[in-house]
Amino acid sequence: MGAFVQFVKTMCITLLAAACGVFSLILAHSPVFGMGKSYELYLAPASSLSPLPTRDPLSDKLLAGKTAGESVRYDGQRAEELMTHFNAKLLFKEEACGVVNYYLYSPMLGKGVELYGKEVNLHIAVSENETAAGTPLIFGGY
């Protein structure tokens, strides 16, 4: 009887450890942003050479493995909401062709890229009707 109890305990601990591992994997690959009207993952290191449009970022991030970044597009102007959500510090902003670009640093996000001597890990672009957000940057057009 003692051997059987020990076996059951060992199996329970093994299953619990496996469940924790799966949970950690899913948590590490969860999408950074809430779903918007479009979502993209970037697979190549810090570039727009390999965008992967997705409707299921969690599954695609799990299948793709390591991603270099991700971005989302929302209807309307949501810059303030995103800055607050990510507790982001504004580093600098630029305006061109009716689009305001905010370059920020958030302690909630991973490593960024260096721009003008500052580490940027959150980029928000706001036009009249749309907000795009990306980490570390929004790649491609917006």
* Structural domain boundaries enclosing 63: 31-135
End-to-end CA distance of the chain: 67
Sequence-distant (≥ 6) Cβ neighbours of residue 44 within 8 angstroms: 50, 68
Q: Is residue 3 assigned to a domain?
A: no
- Does residue 25 lie within any of the structural domains? no
**Backbone angles phi and psi of 132, in degrees to 5:** -115, 140
Tens digits of residue pLDDT in 77-116: 999 999 999 999 999 999 999 999 999 999 999 889 999 9
pTM value? Answer: 0.76
Has residue 105 been placed in a domain? Answer: yes
Measured between alpha carbons, how far is 123 from 140 in angstroms, rounded to an integer? Answer: 12
Q: How far apart are CA 138 and CA 135, in angstroms?
A: 7
The pair phi, psi for residue 113, each rounded to 5°, is -120, 155
Q: Is 111 within 8 Å of 100 (Cβ atoms)? A: no
Query: pLDDT per residue over 13-35, tens digit each?
Result: 776 665 544 444 444 446 678 88
Give a yes or no: residue 6 inside a domain.
no
Q: At what angle do helices 57-64 and 2-28 cross, to 10 degrees?
A: 100
Number of separate domains in the chain? 1
